[in-house]
């Protein structure tokens, strides 16, 4: 038995070596293609990224939050920030729809938050502290999650800085207004906490992409009682996205100066987003979500967006991650165009 195993070893090694060399030749192909200035006629979004080293805005900043300790679904969202950054390379700094080239712009990357904490609450406090410092330097921040619990400390930090009412749009399959039961803060509780602690008001809160058979009656009643505007995927299909967005913008800007977008990738149909904590069918398309972002950033003073719940462990062919990167790029293009 032992001898046989010894004889098999070289063969196994060869096989492994073949796999490695095949992989590295694929990577060599990518490396060349990824080189800055490889084709002088095009600019990649990845060429716009720059490590933040003390600069002040106005500018766009990226912040990674590799945190999934509060996730209610499948764990793994802490791998999200890295995968979204990796997927940015697929996109070019040219917006066809607007015939707008933005290859001369910069996106400052603040890196990932490193946690040294014993509880979800401590991590959240750390997030609030950091986001407050970044917005104080006049950055519009795109945060890469991480589970959806991080929206609470992020919006709280934004509110502490701006000190004015914030209009909040949550693009999500779920309402995420769960009660905190037995002190358990989760990826299902961020908006309830924001409403209860008066960080946001119900009338300035819109939820888009809510799914059938994915929410509790009690939470629907709660959100409606708070005065939130809710549009399900079916309502978006029947009424049309343009009409839904008109109402959305009217409601969130009626009494606010600032808008914040929270984007849970499970708002996407499962076919476009296998890599999320809680996959759900019959959802939105990437085109619809890109349209929402374009409209909101173009027509409101959008101070930030979070992209949450990417779970690379369950992703196939980086489908979800590349969609997440598309939404990041759409936000940047719309922001640059507006300020050009
Ligand atoms: Mn969510």
Under the banding of pLDDT at 50, 70 and 90, the label for residue 19 is: very low
Asked if residue 199 belongs to a domain, the reply is yes
The domain total for the chain is 1
Q: Are 82 and 66 in contact (CB under 8 A)?
A: yes
Could you tell me how far CA 3 lies from the centroid of its own chain? Answer: 53
Asked if residue 220 belongs to a domain, the reply is yes
pLDDT tens per residue, range 196-225: 999 999 999 999 999 999 999 999 999 999
- The mean pLDDT value for 150-173 works out to 98
What is the distance in A from the centroid of ligand 1 to the CA of 207?
Answer: 10
Asked if residue 69 belongs to a domain, the reply is yes
Q: What is the DSSP letter of 330?
A: H
183: domain CATH number?
A: 3.40.800.10
Under the banding of pLDDT at 50, 70 and 90, the label for residue 72 is: confident
What is the distance in A from the centroid of ligand 1 to the CA of 212?
Answer: 15
- The mean pLDDT value for 146-161 works out to 98
Could you tell me how far CA 40 lies from the centroid of its own chain? Answer: 30
Asked if residue 13 belongs to a domain, the reply is no
| Residue 2 buriedness (CB in 10 A; 0-12 / 13-18 / 19+) | exposed
Question: pLDDT at position 27, please?
Answer: 45
Rg (CA), the chain: 21
Under the banding of pLDDT at 50, 70 and 90, the label for residue 163 is: very high
Under the banding of pLDDT at 50, 70 and 90, the label for residue 23 is: very low
Please report how the helices 151-162 and 120-136 are oriented relative to each other, as an axis angle in degrees rounded to 10: 40
What is the distance in A from the centroid of ligand 1 to the CA of 47?
Answer: 31
To which H or E segment does residue 209 belong?
Answer: strand 205-210
Range of the domain at 291: 43-338
What is the distance in A from the centroid of ligand 1 to the CA of 294?
Answer: 21
On the question of pLDDT at 6 being above 60, the answer is no
Cβ-proximal residues to 232 (8 Å cutoff; 6+ apart), any chain? 209, 210, 211, 212
Asked if residue 205 belongs to a domain, the reply is yes
Under the banding of pLDDT at 50, 70 and 90, the label for residue 37 is: low
What is the distance in A from the centroid of ligand 1 to the CA of 37?
Answer: 39
Asked if residue 162 belongs to a domain, the reply is yes
On the question of pLDDT at 25 being above 90, the answer is no
Asked if residue 23 belongs to a domain, the reply is no
Asked if residue 83 belongs to a domain, the reply is yes
CA distance linking residue 151 with residue 131, whole number of Å:
11
């Amino acid at each position: 038995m032992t001898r046989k195993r010894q004889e098999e070893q070289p063969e196994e090694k060869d096989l492994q070596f073949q796999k490695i060399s095949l992989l590295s030749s694929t990577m060599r192909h990518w490396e060349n293609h990824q080189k800055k200035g490889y084709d002088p006629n095009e600019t990649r979004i990845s060429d716009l990224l720059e490590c933040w080293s003390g600069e002040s805005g106005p500018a766009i900043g990226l912040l990674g939050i590799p945190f999934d300790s509060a996730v209610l679904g499948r764990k793994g969202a802490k791998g999200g920030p890295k995968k979204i950054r990796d997927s940015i390379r697929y996109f070019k700094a040219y917006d066809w729809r607007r015939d707008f080239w933005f290859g001369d712009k910069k996106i400052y990357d603040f890196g990932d938050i490193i946690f040294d904490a014993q509880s979800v609450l401590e991590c959240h406090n750390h997030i609030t502290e950091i986001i407050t410092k970044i917005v104080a330097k006049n950055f519009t921040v795109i945060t890469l999650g991480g589970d959806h619990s991080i929206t609470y400390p992020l919006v709280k930090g934004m509110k502490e800085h701006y000190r004015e009412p914030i209009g909040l749009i949550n693009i999500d399959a779920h309402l995420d207004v769960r009660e905190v039961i037995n002190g358990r803060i989760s990826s299902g509780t961020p908006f309830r906490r924001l409403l209860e602690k008066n960080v946001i008001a119900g009338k300035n809160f819109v939820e888009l992409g809510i799914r059938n058979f994915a929410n509790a009656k009690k939470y629907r009643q709660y959100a409606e009682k708070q005065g939130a505007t809710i549009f399900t995927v079916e309502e978006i299909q029947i009424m049309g996205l343009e009409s839904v967005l008109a109402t959305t913008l009217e409601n969130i800007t009626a009494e606010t100066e600032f808008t914040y977008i929270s984007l849970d990738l499970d708002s996407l149909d499962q076919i476009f987003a296998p890599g999320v904590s809680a996959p759900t069918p019959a959802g939105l398309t990437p085109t619809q979500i890109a349209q929402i972002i374009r409209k909101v950033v173009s027509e409101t003073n959008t101070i930030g967006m979070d992209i949450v719940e990417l779970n690379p462990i369950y992703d196939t062919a980086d489908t979800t991650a590349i969609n997440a990167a598309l939404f990041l790029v759409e936000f940047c293009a719309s922001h640059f165009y507006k300020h050009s």
